[in-house]
Amino acid sequence: MRVQLERVAIGRGLGAAVPTLDLIVDGPVPVAVAVQTDERPLLVSMILAGRIRSDSGRVLVDGRENADELRRRTALVDTPVVAEPAPGVALKTVVAEEFSFAGLPTSGRAVRAFLADHDLAEYASLPVRALLRADRIRLFSELAVLRDGVDGIIVTSPERHGGEPTQWYGPLAALAKRGVTVAIVTDSATAGILVSLGARDGALPEPEAPELSSDPDSFESDLQ
């Protein structure tokens, strides 16, 4: 899935809640989306997931304006206010709720099996706050893609939980390799670190694939 923001903004001028953005989110690696201020990560995440409309510009999914399709195919992950579990809720309760959203059995056995498969069985009865940062992002992302039709996730402000990006980037990169479009909406400093780890900066033009020459002599010279 490819999500593109073209001249998207909420508000105008210096007081704009979201200044004009041009972004492309797709590809086989996570895409870092750098935004500043406390409220913008939430707003940009909601725009990318089709949950709110911008005041100006266009949001395209696979080249088309289709907000319904964008909502169906994306999931917000650990987004403050709208998709963040309460820290004191037992992890098994959160998993069961996500299973319900995905149309899966919510029995204790099913939940325990899922957590065991992700090496988190001992956390089942513990509050969400007990999860290590990397495990939190990994588990919530895996739960999000269980929903039918979801092939894109937007992870919001993962740096707020602490820990180095090197600890939690790997699971998101693995999801991207499986064909899930992954956007990480974060601050500028964290986005820079993510790009150094292999993420793509969504605000930059996509790199062009090198042209392959049909001249066999040219191919042989490239190998020398």
Q: What are the pLDDT digits (tens) for 124-145?
A: 999 999 999 999 999 999 999 9
Would you kindly state where each structural domain of the chain is located, as residue ranges? 3-83+151-223
- Encode pLDDT of 204-217 as tens digits: 876 655 554 455 45
Mean pLDDT, residues 186-209 taken together: 88
pLDDT value at residue 224: 47
Mean pLDDT score, 174-201: 96
In the chain the beta strands, taken as DSSP E runs, fall at: 3-10, 18-25, 31-34, 56-61, 74-77, 152-156, 181-186, 200-201
State yes or no: pLDDT of 222 exceeds 50: no
pLDDT for 13-24, tens place per residue?
Answer: 888 999 999 999
One-letter amino acid of 87:
P
How far is the C-alpha of 194 from the C-alpha of 202, rounded, in Å?
Answer: 12
38 pLDDT band, cuts 50/70/90, is confident
Q: Which fold has domain 3-83+151-223?
A: Rossmann fold (3.40.50)
Whose CA is closest to 38, among 78, 80, 10, 9? 80
